[in-house]
Structure 1
């Protein structure tokens, strides 16, 4: 019963505090699309057929007009057609891919003046997908130097108790520490068990965007120190309107900031900030001094990999659909990772040799090569934010122990079962 309650607590925490990870709302009319193979996996040159049904109240709708398109994920379609589904079902000949990758079928149905859509993505030898980026010769030297320079900056930790968030078992604090240069701050919420003792720690690294944070109180009540950080150098307990204004103003498009300079690119402060967060945890008197896991999804999935690669104090990681993987994929005619720096819509201002070179120092593929600790990874094939091609490009270079839990039909969201397995994995590493 105790384990069941713990799992429910962490699932509830993520569903409340990260909307992009929650399962999407049900649609009145459902467009169901799936490859005919149960595992959705094919070999190059093997033909794919997509089964389609349009339903309302789980009953097929007759005489529905649909249009569909098929092509490599995130690329222009190679086949489009308009058809009427007389019995509410059809089978689409999706063709094939000649090499490892993903082929996507998107179907849009028109019903009573409104459009409903669905998609499915067939995998072609995903374990054979190779990255398009390469690791610069000075990649590791660059980051070791950056870490060394940041370590000389005093943490100057400032902690403020948040009584309204505390519980009988946990104290909750807003914390801010000095990041990679004097005057640059990193803000977060740390939750510490009240009972005397030494505890393991879980570091939550954030998905993309600008928002406040509440703190993972539920996990802390199970005897784990939790630290949930923001990345933008602003307090994480402000009114939501502040974050909305920043998102629409000063921080709009932050993943592109200073991309032409590897020493000034926006994510340098972010990646180093994750290491500084680990420094803070190791300075907590309640920390057991050894057991720490990092966890996140999307941008946070990327940061989990980065943190574990850069900091050998991390004992393991959990990464859901990691972003920032194989960013140069678009320059090679296939999908690249979020934030899609070199996609067609961004190519006009990012397609320079300097920006391409800078991206290599921040590409998750190159951090994944340096992982030495066990990791739990999970994603789906239908993700249009972090394309599976990009994620496999990173996953396939990992030589450390790794576990991949696939939920093929998911997009940029998770099922409770994914979190159950992830939490079990983290608890074992934390010896809880």
Structure 2
């Protein structure tokens, strides 16, 4: 909960957004991330230039660039409207603040030469998103927007509701169903590599592997030519939300890795963008909402079975070194990576950038914003879709995270509306072993830091792994 001081009541709720951003991280527990590379490194901005008017900019700044506070501390926030880089006076700026425990506040303030300052006491763990907007006079369509997020004691965040009592039994049963389908390649077709120098080093295949659920594992398998048996670490990469072809992993394979980029839907690879756009708008439209009233029909059941089968397949290849299994992905791919690591104890490293789907039930406890696209609907503070709330708990990566044996790298964006920071921290806090989180206070779901930081950490891990591995 956030307690505003009297100064807040008139014009400073906009700062509550920032104040909530500073909701109370324990500074000794989490290192402040480096400032984002921008002209003003502490400011989140969005600009717009309507015809015949100035270019307006909104600045939203917390008094701590890292946006982290302890519970009970007071944060001070500053908001300012600029036109052509200069302060704008006397215009109305709107704000919306949303945070944990159903916190929501909105209001307006009048812009001035100096930024408005608002002290906010942060009473407990969680995050707050502050969205600020300004609509120029005479412009009924265009709107300038900016946002900021803050966190308080995020390492204290936990899942909103208990996990299902039969969570492990359910996944044991799913593995048994998968085992009934023999591990068998259905297809392996070599895919030419255009770069002649890389083609001399690496071979790539479009593969399909039989799987439970009626849809095969589909992906690009890439490895060094003439690789010796038991010589290569595995890298499995998983896709974010959407519909697309698998992507080549030529560069990593050339460095001595056994790579597979797994198609999220088990569909054909290598088609035109129009082909995948048509699928996204038609046959796979809103696939993530399919069958969510039951754990037996939810779309994620089939997706996660393919994750398990992709692991089994890669470990069956003679080139695997028998020791190292790395999984990675961002957003939906980050969710799949956490699931892979949670369900397979042989995974040794997991890279999950802004993982999606975590803490599905957080919305029932007032976590705002809820994970996109709103899997569980609320009627005020009451659950309006109880069947979905019950079923989706079995596919929550935050619960899978409790079972992870691997080392993990996770990233989080404080302005991320698709994968809200509280949901990511719940998953991160559940990981029992060696781990590192990369905080990105200025990032939305588009990044860029949330993806770059995880990728950099993964690259460093791979370099160290290869350096420690004797040449074959």
Q: Which bracket does the TM-score occupy, shorter chain normalised?
A: 0.7 to 0.9
Q: Deviations over 1:62-88 (max 9, x none)?
A: 34653222231796731311422x33x
Distance (Å, rounded) in 2 between the aligned partners of 1:133 and 1:414: 32
Whether contact under 8 Å (1:179, 1:276) holds in the other structure is yes
In structure 1, stretches of 5+ residues that fail to align are 1-23
1:26-425 alignment, distance < 5 Å: 27=47, 30-54=57-81, 59-63=85-89, 65-72=92-99, 77-84=104-111, 86-87=112-113, 89-93=114-118, 95-110=120-135, 113=139, 114-157=142-185, 158-165=187-194, 167-181=199-213, 183-197=214-228, 198-335=231-368, 336-344=370-378, 351-412=384-445, 413-415=447-449, 416-425=452-461
Q: Go from structure 1 to structure 2 and tell me whether the alpha carbon gap of 1:92 and 1:235 turns closer, same or farther (over 3 Å shift).
A: farther
Aligned to 2:37: none
Q: Secondary structure at the match of 1:154?
A: coil
Of 216-225 and 70-79, more deviation after overlay is shown by 70-79
- The structure with the larger Rg is 2
1:46 to partner: Cα distance: 3.1
Distance (Å, rounded) in 2 between the aligned partners of 1:187 and 1:381: 34
Distance (Å, rounded) in 1 between the aligned partners of 2:45 and 2:203: 34
Aligned to 1:12: none
TM-score for both structures, normalised by structure 1? 0.85
Distance (Å, rounded) in 2 between the aligned partners of 1:102 and 1:242: 40
Whether contact under 8 Å (1:293, 1:429) holds in the other structure is no
Q: Go from structure 1 to structure 2 and tell me whether the alpha carbon gap of 1:339 and 1:400 turns closer, same or farther (over 3 Å shift).
A: farther
Whether contact under 8 Å (2:233, 2:257) holds in the other structure is yes
Q: Deviations over 1:123-161 (max 9, x none)?
A: 111111121132212111111221122023123311111
1:398 to partner: Cα distance: 1.8
Q: Secondary structure at the match of 1:163?
A: coil
1:375 to partner: Cα distance: 0.5
TM-score for both structures, normalised by structure 2? 0.78
1:354 to partner: Cα distance: 2.7
Whether contact under 8 Å (1:188, 1:228) holds in the other structure is yes
Q: Secondary structure at the match of 2:277?
A: helix
Distance (Å, rounded) in 1 between the aligned partners of 2:307 and 2:361: 24
Paired residue total: 404
Of 98-107 and 416-425, more deviation after overlay is shown by 416-425
1:233 to partner: Cα distance: 2.5
Q: Go from structure 1 to structure 2 and tell me whether the alpha carbon gap of 1:82 and 1:54 turns closer, same or farther (over 3 Å shift).
A: closer
Q: Secondary structure at the match of 2:128?
A: strand
Aligned to 1:14: none
1:417 to partner: Cα distance: 4.5
Distance (Å, rounded) in 1 between the aligned partners of 2:219 and 2:397: 23
1:304 to partner: Cα distance: 0.7
Distance (Å, rounded) in 1 between the aligned partners of 2:354 and 2:291: 25
Q: Go from structure 1 to structure 2 and tell me whether the alpha carbon gap of 1:222 and 1:238 turns closer, same or farther (over 3 Å shift).
A: same
Q: Go from structure 1 to structure 2 and tell me whether the alpha carbon gap of 1:202 and 1:31 turns closer, same or farther (over 3 Å shift).
A: farther
